[in-house]
Amino acid sequence: MTWGLSACSALRNGLNVPGASQNVPNRQSGIALVTVLVFLLVIAVLGKFAWGPLLTGLQQREEFIRRSLKEAKADREAAEARLQEYEERLSSAAAEAAQILEQGKREGEGLRAGIEEKARDEADKMVDRARREIELAKQSAIKDLYATSSELATEIASRIVQRELNPADHEKLIADSIKELGNLDRN
């Protein structure tokens, strides 16, 4: 650096030299030489103190960007894999839900058919029981009718035996008997 300052002072002194107009090409050559020397000096100082840290920082930045890109790619691939897994799970869950619904429908249909069958059996049993009760009531009514008829017949026979019948009495006896049978049916 000192050398560069001395070159600058020499240039300044060279400008004040009497008769300098004659040495214009020499002066310009000197200025060019000093400029090149100063430029080389600045490059050397920058190379030693500025370019090294600057290049190190740029290399670190480049490595950081590469690492970030690799991590982002790995994260993206992992996210896509998780998304695929979630979609498969969702599809599996939807299929399972449909299967459960179908099974529920089948079980519901089976249950409905069982309930209907049970109701039909109960209705058939009730009808059979009613028919048996009707038959029993009919048989009981027939027995009562036979008993009543035999009582009437016995009573008629005893009346006939107690008196002798002429045709008018005979018709009256038949009419009275029919009348009594009608009264028994109403009761």
How far apart CA 74 and CA 42 sit, in angstroms, is: 45
Compute the distance between CA of residue 146 and CA of residue 159 in angstroms, rounded to an integer: 19
Prediction pTM value: 0.37
Give the pLDDT of the chain (187 residues) as one tens digit per residue: 444 444 445 445 544 444 444 555 678 888 999 999 999 999 888 888 888 888 888 999 999 999 999 999 999 999 999 999 999 999 999 999 999 999 999 999 999 999 999 999 999 999 999 999 999 998 988 888 877 877 777 777 776 666 666 777 777 877 887 787 777 666 5
Q: Give the mean pLDDT of the chain.
A: 82
Contact call for residues 16 and 9 (beta carbons, < 8 A): no
Q: What are the residue boundaries of the structural domains of the chain, listed by start?
A: 2-186
